[in-house]
Structure 1
Amino acid sequence: MILVTGGTGLIGSHLLFHLINNGKTVRSNYRTEASMEKVHQVFGYYTDNPSVLMDQIDWVKADITDIGGLDPLFEGVDQVYHCAALISFDPKDFKILEHTNVEGTANIVNLSLKYGIKKLCYVSSIAAIGPSIKQQKVTEENEWNEAKANVYGITKYNAELEVWRGSQEGLPIVIINPGVVIGPGFWKSGSGSFFTYASKGKKYFIPGGTGFVTINDVIHAMTQLMDSSIQTERFILVNQNMTYEELLQKIAPELGITPPTKEVSKFMLECFWRWDWVRSNVFGKRRKLSKAVAKGLYHQKIYNSKKIKSELDFTFGDLDKSIEFCCEKFIQQP
C-alpha cells in the first residue's frame, strides 16, 4: 500500500493517477468533497473514465495537522509520498503555514517512524534552497539564508529539517525540490495562474525568472527515486530556467493571445509592495506582493539539476509540449 498525502493538489492528483494507472494500491487523504472534484477533473484530462480510477483509491478524510486522526492513513502502508502543503507568500499567514507545512510534516514523519514505513518521499520546493552566490547556478548544496527567503520558503525549509530528523531516527527518505510545476487543472494558483494571466491579454510582465519543470517529470523523478536504493538525499527538479517574459511568450500564442511586452519596473515593484502592505494592514486585504517576493523578482534565479540527471540517469521531458497541453486543457475548461 502506498500513501499519498495532499492527493487533491496538483502534484498529488497527478501522482495518484500515475500510481493507479500502473496497478499500485493507493490510499490518500482528503479534507472536503469539493477538493476531490479537482482530482476527478485532472484524471479526466488523461482518461475517459476518471470515476473508475477514483474508485480504486482508498480515500480517508484526514487533516495532516490533526495527529490524532492520522493513524488510519498509515495502517498497512509501505511507502509515503508527502505532497500535502499550504502555499502562501503573505507574511500574515506565517503561523498557519508553519502549522501545516512544519507541524504537519512532523506528524507524517512521526507516524512513518511509528509504522515502520520503508521509505518516505517529501515534496519540498526550490523556495527552500539557499540563494545563488555571484550569479552562479543554484545547487542542492547552497547555504540556506533565511533573511533572503519568503515565509513559504522558510516553512518548507523547516519542514525539510523534520524530514532530516526522521532520517536520523532511522526513516529512509528522499526529498525533491521542484521548480514551478507546469501542469493542468489548478488555474488559480501556482503555474496555473500564468495561464489565467496570459488569457487576459495583459500588457505587463514581471521581471526576473526562475526554474520550471513539467508535472510528468516531477512524478517520474519521485517514483524512480522511491523505487531506487537512493536515500538521505535531496534533488532539485528544474527542466528549464526561464524569465517570466519567456514563459508568457510561450503560453499566450497557444491561447490565441498577444504576449505582454512591457516589463514592470523595479520602481513600480517597490511602490506596489508598499501599497500592498498598506492595503493589508489598514484595510485588511490579503497580500498580493510581499517585500521578500518583490525583492526576489529583481533577478532571474538559475537552478542546476545535474544531480538528479547523474544519480538516476534522468532525462527531462519537453517543457514546450507540456505548455501546449496545458493551454489545450485551459481552452477546453467550462
Structure 2
Amino acid sequence: MILVTGGTGLVGSHLLYFLLKENNNVRAIHRKSSNLQAVKNVFEYYVSIEEAELLFNKIEWQEADITEIPALTDAFKDITQVYHAAAYISFNPKHYNKLKKANIEGTANIVNLCLAHSIEKLCYVSSVATLGSSINGAKITEETHWNSEEKNNIYSITKYGAEMEVWRGTQEGLNAVIVKPGVILGEGFWNSGSGVIIKTASKGIPFYTDGSMGLVDVKDVVNAMVTAMQSSEKNTSYILVAENVKYRLLLSEIAKNLNVKLPKKRAPKWVLLAFSKIDWFISKIFRTKRILLKATVNSLYTDSNYSSLKIEKELNFTFTPIEKTLKRVCKHYSIES
C-alpha cells in the first residue's frame, strides 16, 4: 500500500488521481481541518463526476498530522512506499516556528517511520528554493549547492532543513528520491500558490516586474514523482522545471488566455519595497495579514535559470510546454470564475 501525505494540496490531490488510475491501494493522511472535497474536485478535471466519486471512495483516509507521532505511526501500517508532499508554506518571518515544526520536524518524523517500517522507497517533494544562486548566468542544477551565507527566506531555510532529514535517512538505509519543482501550475487551488497568480492576472493588471521564474505543470510533477519511484534510481534529487519564464511573458500569456489587458508598464522595485514597508506597518498596527513581503518583492526582481537536464537524461523525461499548460489551466479557471 502507498501512503501519501499532503493529499489535500495541489500536488497531493493530482498525485492521488494518478495513483488510483493505476489501481494502486492508497492511504492518505489529512488533518481535521482539511477539505477532502477539494480532492474530489480535482478528480473531476480528469473524469466524469461519477468516475471521480468512484476513485475518491477508493482512498483510505486517515486523520493524522505529520507532527503528531502516534496517529502518524498508525498510518504507516502495511505501507510499502511513501510520497511526502505535505508542507507548510509561508514567507512571513513570524511563521518560522510553524514552518520549522511542519517542514523539518514533520519530515524527520516521516523519515524515522520509514526507517522503522522498512519502507521500500520515499519520494519527498522539496523545492528549487533549496538550491543556490546562479553564478555568472550559469544554469542552476542539482549541483548548485545551498549557500547558508545568502539572505535566504524562512521557507527556503526550512525546506532545506527537511532535505537534510531525508539525506540523513538515506545514510541510515532508506531509499529516497527528492524532487525540486519550480512554481507549479495546475487546477483546483485558485486561492494559493500559482492559483493566486492566475487569479490576479485575470483582473488585467497593467504592471510587470523584471524577474523570471521556473515553471512546471502539476501533471509533470506527479508524473516525475511516480517515474522516479518506479525507477532504480535512489538517493538522488531532480529539478522539475519545464521552462524559465519572465514575469512579463507569464502575465501576458495568462492575459491572452483570459482575454484581459496585457501588462505594459514596468513596476520599479523601489515602489514595491516602499509598499512592502507600508504593508508591514499596517499589519503591525491593525494585526492584519501581510499582503506583500520583502522576500516576495525580491523574488519578483530575481532572474531564475534552472536546468532539468538531469531528469530528462536519466529518466528519459519530457516536460509539457508551459504555453500548453497555461491554455489548459486558464480554460478551467475561466469556467469556474
Supply the distance in 1 between the matched residues of 2:14 and 2:100 (Cα, whole angstroms).
25
2:254 maps to which residue?
A: 251
1:155 alignment partner AA = T
2:138 maps to which residue?
A: 136
2:30 maps to which residue?
A: 30
Supply the distance in 2 between the matched residues of 1:78 and 1:115 (Cα, whole angstroms).
8
1:3 maps to which residue?
A: 3
Supply the distance in 1 between the matched residues of 2:240 and 2:67 (Cα, whole angstroms).
27
1:278 to 259, 278, 281: 281
2:45 maps to which residue?
A: 45
Supply the distance in 1 between the matched residues of 2:254 and 2:294 (Cα, whole angstroms).
27
1:119 alignment partner AA = K
Supply the distance in 2 between the matched residues of 1:88 and 1:310 (Cα, whole angstroms).
33
Supply the distance in 1 between the matched residues of 2:197 and 2:226 (Cα, whole angstroms).
27
1:164 maps to which residue?
A: 167
Instruction: Say which SS state the counterpart of residue 303 (structure 2) adopts.
Output: coil
Residues 1-334 of structure 1: matches in 2 within 5 Å? 1-32=1-32, 35-48=35-48, 49-146=51-148, 147-333=150-336
After the TM superposition, which of the residue ranges 296-305 and 92-101 deviates more from structure 2? Answer: 296-305
1:255 alignment partner AA = L
Asked if structure 1 preserves the Cα contact closer than 8 Å seen for 2:8 and 2:34, the reply is no
Supply the distance in 2 between the matched residues of 1:78 and 1:224 (Cα, whole angstroms).
16
Deviations 1:132-179 (A, max 9, x none): 112211111112123321111111010000101111111000000000
Instruction: Say which SS state the counterpart of residue 36 (structure 2) adopts.
Output: helix
Structure 1 consecutive aligned stretches of length 4 or more whose deviation exceeds 6 Å:
none
Supply the distance in 1 between the matched residues of 2:239 and 2:136 (Cα, whole angstroms).
19
Supply the distance in 1 between the matched residues of 2:121 and 2:279 (Cα, whole angstroms).
43
Asked if structure 1 preserves the Cα contact closer than 8 Å seen for 2:187 and 2:332, the reply is yes
TM-score by length of 1: 0.97
Asked if structure 2 preserves the Cα contact closer than 8 Å seen for 1:131 and 1:148, the reply is no
After the TM superposition, which of the residue ranges 94-103 and 24-33 deviates more from structure 2? Answer: 24-33
Supply the distance in 2 between the matched residues of 1:72 and 1:207 (Cα, whole angstroms).
49
1:296 Cα offset (Å): 2.8
Unaligned runs of 5+ in 2: none
TM-score by length of 2: 0.96
Asked if structure 2 preserves the Cα contact closer than 8 Å seen for 1:195 and 1:251, the reply is yes
Supply the distance in 1 between the matched residues of 2:320 and 2:205 (Cα, whole angstroms).
29
Instruction: Say which SS state the counterpart of residue 74 (structure 2) adopts.
Output: helix
Supply the distance in 2 between the matched residues of 1:141 and 1:279 (Cα, whole angstroms).
41
Asked if structure 1 preserves the Cα contact closer than 8 Å seen for 2:7 and 2:13, the reply is yes
1:42 Cα offset (Å): 0.5
1:62 Cα offset (Å): 0.7
After the TM superposition, which of the residue ranges 170-179 and 62-71 deviates more from structure 2? Answer: 62-71
1:115 alignment partner AA = H
2:44 alignment partner AA = G
1:186 Cα offset (Å): 0.5
Supply the distance in 2 between the matched residues of 1:207 and 1:289 (Cα, whole angstroms).
17
Asked if structure 2 preserves the Cα contact closer than 8 Å seen for 1:90 and 1:289, the reply is no
Asked if structure 2 preserves the Cα contact closer than 8 Å seen for 1:148 and 1:292, the reply is no
Instruction: Say which SS state the counterpart of residue 12 (structure 1) adopts.
Output: helix
1:327 Cα offset (Å): 1.0
Deviations 1:271-323 (A, max 9, x none): 12222222233332222333333223322111011111111111112322211
Supply the distance in 1 between the matched residues of 2:283 and 2:212 (Cα, whole angstroms).
26
After the TM superposition, which of the residue ranges 100-109 and 291-300 deviates more from structure 2? Answer: 291-300
Supply the distance in 2 between the matched residues of 1:218 and 1:195 (Cα, whole angstroms).
19
CA RMSD of aligned residues (A): 1.3
1:14 alignment partner AA = H
Instruction: Say which SS state the counterpart of residue 156 (structure 1) adopts.
Output: helix
